A and B are shown apart, each in its own frame.
Chain A
C-alpha cells in the first residue's frame, strides 16, 4: 500500500472532521458576543437567556474543536516529517503564533465567560465574549496564513534542501492570505447565520420558544444574507483572481476546461472526463469564464491540455467540489434574500415553507465550506508547497503504511463516537431551548432556572 496515499487520507479525514467545529466557533462567536453585550447592557432576561443558549452551543463546538485540533498541530511532524523538516522554519511560525496569540486568548477568556460571572464585573464579562470571538478568528487567520503560504510561497529563501523564512510579515500579510482569510471567515459567518436562523425557524415551526425563534430568525437571516453576498463578492472573486494568477492549472481543473480558449465559456454543469479530455453533457455560458478570470471576454484562458498530466490535480474532485460550493452559495443568496424580503414585509413567520427551507438548509453551509477547502487543497496537488515541494516527497521516511492504517482506523473510531456525542448534545440543547422547563446541562457559575 502506498504510504503517501494513506497519509493523505488520514490528513484529509482528520482536518475535514476538525474543520466542522471551527466553522461553528468562528460563525457563532459573534452571536455569543452580541447577545452577551446586549444582556450586560439591557439586563433583560430574553437577552441573558439568548446569550447563555448560544454560549452553551458555542462551548460544545469549542470543546470538540480543541479535542480534534490537538492532532492537527502535531500531524505535520508525525506523518509529514520531510515537509516539516524542510519548511518548518516558515510554517512553524504562524502555527506557533496561533498557540501563543490566539489559543491563550480564546481559552482564558472562555474560562471567564463560563465560570467568571460571579467573579468579574458585567462589562468585563461581556468583553471576554468579544475576546473569545477575536481569539477564534485570529486562530483561523494563522491557519489560513500557513495554508496560503503553501498555496503561494512568499518571503522565503532556499538553503540546501531547506526552505528558510526571510520575512515573517511577507508570510503573515501576503495578499493571498488576506483574501483567502476574508473568504473563509465570511463563509463561516454564513454557516453561523444559517445555524441561528435554522434554530429560530425550528422554534417557530414547532410553535414554542416563540420570542427566541423570532429574534434568531431575524438575526440569522440578516447575517446569512450579508455574508453570503460578501463571500461571493469581493472575497470569493479576489480569491479566484489569485488562483488565476498563481495557480492557473487549478483554475482549469475547477472549471473543467481542457482546451485553451479565447472567450472561454463557463460550465454551469457537466461531467469532466479525463480519458477523452472533455466535459460530458455540458451546459455552457459563452465568454463568461474569460470575463470572470480576467475581466475581459476575449482573454485567453489556458486549459489542462497545455500542461503535462503529471502537474494536473485530481480533476474530477476539484471540479465537483468547486461546482458544489458555487451552486450552494447561489442557493444561500437566493434563500436569505427571499427570507429577508419576507422579514421586511413582516410575512416571514407565516411563510412556513420558507421556515422549513431555513431549517433544513442548516447543514449545507458546512458542505459548502468543506467543498471550498477541497478545491483549495486537492486543486493544489501534486504540490504540498506550490512549485517547491511535491506531496509525494513530503511524508515521514520512518513511518510505514501499516502504522498509518492503524492510526487512521483509530481516528475513524474515535471521531465516530465524538461525532455522535456532538450531535446528541447539540440537538438536546436545541430541543431544550433557551427557556427550558428543566435544565440538564450544568454550566458552572450559571444558576439553573427553577
Chain B
C-alpha cells in the first residue's frame, strides 16, 4: 500500500513535470528564440488555456503528499523553509505576469511582462532541478526527517548540475510543444532550437545519470529495472531528434514527453524506499514506512485520489481534443 501511495504521488509529480514542464520550457525558449512581441505573444497564447490546469497538478500533488505522507510533507516543507518560500513567490510572480499581460496593452508593458514570465519560469525550472538534485543526493536529516543542513549545503555542484539539466531539458520539451501547437515560420525556428538543444541535453543527461549512479549505487541496492531506464530515456531522446528532423510536431512532442516521464520514473526508483533520502548516501533517511499515514487513511486517500484523477482524465481529454487545431501566426 505504501508503495502504491508512492507510485500515485510519483505519477502526479510526473504529470506535473510533463505538463507544466512544457509551459515552463515554452516560456524560457520563446524568450530566447522569439524575434518580436507577436511571436512571444503567440507562444504565451499557445500555453495560455492549459497553464492553470497544468499547475493544478503541483497543488494536487502537494495535497496528496500531505494526505499520504504527512511526516514527509511536514518535515520537508518546514526543513527547506526559505528555498520553499522562494519557489512559492516565483510561482505567484509567474501567475501574475501571465495574467497581467492581457491587461496592459502597448509594447512597453508587454515586453516587461514577457520578461517577468521568462525570468520566473526559468528560475523556477532551475530551482525545481536543484531540489530534485538534492532529493537524489540526499540531505542531512534528524530522526523525524527534519533537514539539519544549511542553505549553502543545497547549492552543491551536483544539484546545480541537475538544475542546469532541468533548464535545458525543459526548454527542449517546450520547443517540441511549440512544434506541436504552432504552425508557420516560428514553428520552424522552434524545430531548429530543438535540434540545437539535443546535444547539450544528451551530454548533460549522460553526466547527471553517471554521477547519480556513482553516488547512489554503492550505498544501497538499486532495483534491476532501474538499469533499463537510461536506455528508455536515450531511445526517447533519440526519437525526439529523428522526429524533429522530419518536422513531425506531434511525434516529437510525444517522444519528448516519454523522455520527461522516464526521467521522473528513474528519479523515483533511485529514491525508493525513501521519500526523503538522508545524506551521506547510505545513512538512511525518511522512509516510506516512516512517513506514511495509517493503512486506513492511505486506503481512503488513494481511493478518492485515483477515482478523482480518473474523472479528470476523462473530461480533460474531451476538452483538449477541441483545442488541438494548430495556431496560425501568419
Q: In the complex, how many angstroms separate the beta carbon of A180 from the nearest chain B beta carbon?
A: 20
Is A260 an interface residue, CB under 8 A from the partner? no
For the complex, what is the distance from the CA of A97 to the CA of B74, rounded to whole Å? 18
Q: A67-B92, A92-B66 are in contact. Are A99 and B56 (CB under 8 A)?
A: yes
Interface presence of A76 (CB below 8 A): yes
Q: What sequence of 0s and 1s flags, for each residue 61-96 of chain B, a beta carbon within 8 Å of any chain A beta carbon?
A: 111111111110111111101101100110111011
Supposing A107-B53, A110-B52, A111-B49 touch, asked if A96 and B78 sit within 8 A by C-beta, the answer is no
- Asked whether B85 lies within 8 Å of A78 as measured between CB atoms, the reply is yes
Q: Is B100 an interface residue (CB 8 A)?
A: yes
Also in contact, A71 and B75, with CB within 8 A (given A107-B56, A111-B52): no
Which of A81, A96, A162, A440 lies in contact with B75, CB distance below 8 A?
A81
Question: Given contacts A84-B73, A99-B63, is CB(A92)–CB(B293) below 8 Å?
Answer: yes
Min distance, Cβ A76 to any Cβ of chain B, angstroms: 7
CB of B289 closer than 8 Å to a CB of A: no
Using CB atoms, name the residue of chain A closest to B323: A119
Whether the pair B81, A88 counts as a contact (CB closer than 8 A) is: no
Q: A78-B84, A120-B322 are in contact. Are A444 and B45 (CB under 8 A)?
A: yes
Selected interface stretch from B242-250, B254-262, B305-313? B305-313
A32-40, A268-276, A319-327, A395-403: which lies at the interface:
A395-403
Mark interface residues in A242-254 (1 if CB within 8 Å of B CB, else 0). 0000000000000
Whether A440 lies near B316 (C-beta < 8 A) is: no
The answer to whether B304 and A70 touch across the interface, beta carbons within 8 angstroms, is no
Let me know if B225 is at the binding interface, CB within 8 A: no
Asked if B204 is at the interface (CB within 8 A of a chain A CB), the reply is no
Interface contact A77-B146, CB-CB below 8 Å = no
Kindly state the separation between the CA atoms of A90 and B69 in the bound complex, as whole angstroms: 11
> A391-418: contact bitstring with B at CB < 8 Å (1 yes, 0 no)?
0000011110001001100100010001
> Do A84 and B81 touch (CB < 8 A)?
no
A166 and B296 in contact, given A63-B95, A108-B316, A116-B322 (Cβ under 8 angstroms): yes
The complex places the Cα of A67 from the Cα of B95 at a distance, in Å, of 6
Determine if B102 and A74 form an interchain contact, defined as CB atoms under 8 angstroms apart: no
Any B CB within 8 A of the CB of A442: yes
* Pair A95/B75 contact, Cβ less than 8 Å: no
- Minimum CB–CB distance from A130 to chain B (whole Å) comes to 13
The interface residues of chain A lying within 8 Å CB-to-CB of B311 are 101
Please give the distance in Å from A193's CB to the nearest CB on chain B. 26
A444 to B51, CA, bound (A): 14
Query: Which residues of chain B are near A73, meaning CB under 8 Å?
Result: 59, 62-63
Instruction: Determine the distance from Cα of A66 to Cα of B88 in the docked complex, in whole angstroms.
Output: 12
Per the CB 8 Å criterion, the residue count for chain B at the interface is 65
Chain A window 367-408, contacts with chain B (Cβ cutoff 8 Å), 1 for yes, 0 for no: 000000000000000000000000000001111000100110
Q: How far is the CA of A101 from the CA of B322 in the complex (A)?
A: 22
A104 touches B53 (CB 8 A): yes
The A contact surface, by secondary structure, is: helix
Chain A contact patch, size range: 35 or more
Known A82-B74, A84-B66, A164-B294; contact A93-B300, beta-carbon cutoff 8 A: yes
- Measured CA separation A162–B315 after assembly (Å): 37
B56/A78 in contact, CB under 8 A: no
User: What separation, in Å, do the CA atoms of A68 and B99 have in the docked complex?
Assistant: 13
| B146 pairs with A398, CB closer than 8 A | yes
- Tell yes or no: A159 within 8 A of B by CB: yes
Given A70-B59, A71-B88, A119-B323, are A92 and B67 neighbors across the interface (CB < 8 Å)?
A: yes
The answer to whether A71 touches B92 (Cβ under 8 A) is yes
* Cβ-defined contact, A100 with B103, below 8 A: no
Question: Is B319 part of the contact surface with A, judged by Cβ < 8 Å?
Answer: yes
- Beta-carbon contact of B70 and A92 below 8 Å: yes
**What number of residue pairs across chains A and B have CB atoms under 8 A from each other?**
221
Q: Give Cα A284–Cα B9 distance, bound, in whole angstroms.
A: 56
> Inside 8 A of B52's CB, which chain A residues have their CB?
66, 107, 110-111
- Shortest distance between the CB of B81 and any CB in chain A (Å): 5
**Across the interface, which residues of B come within 8 angstroms of A111, CB to CB?**
49-50, 52-53, 319
A443 within 8 A of B: yes
Encoded as 1 (CB less than 8 Å from any A CB) or 0, chain B from 281 to 307 comes to: 000000000000110110011001100
B61 nearest CB neighbor, chain A only: A99
Partner pick for B74 among A77, A159, A425, CB 8 A cutoff: A77
B315 CB contact (under 8 Å) in A96, A108, A397, A421: A108
Contacts of B202 in A (CB 8 A): none
Contacts of A69 in B (CB 8 A): 59
User: Does A222 count as interface, using CB distance less than 8 angstroms?
Assistant: no
Question: In chain B, what residue has the closest Cβ to A109?
Answer: B319
Q: Which residue of B lies closest to A167 (CB)?
A: B300
> 29 A–B contact pairs at CB < 8 A?
A71-B88, A74-B77, A76-B77, A77-B62, A86-B70, A87-B70, A88-B71, A88-B293, A92-B63, A92-B301, A96-B63, A96-B64, A98-B63, A99-B59, A100-B309, A100-B312, A104-B316, A108-B315, A110-B52, A111-B50, A119-B325, A164-B296, A165-B294, A165-B297, A168-B300, A396-B78, A398-B78, A407-B82, A440-B103
- Interface residues of B, Cβ cutoff 8 Å to A: 45, 48-50, 52-53, 55-56, 59-71, 73-79, 81-82, 84-85, 88-89, 91-93, 95-96, 99-100, 102-103, 105, 144, 146-147, 293-294, 296-297, 300-301, 304-305, 308-309, 311-312, 315-316, 319, 322-323, 325
A interface residues (Cβ-Cβ under 8 A, vs B): 60, 63, 66-71, 73-74, 76-79, 81-82, 84-93, 95-101, 103-105, 107-112, 114-116, 119-120, 159, 162, 164-166, 168, 396-399, 403, 406-407, 410, 414, 418, 421, 425, 440-444
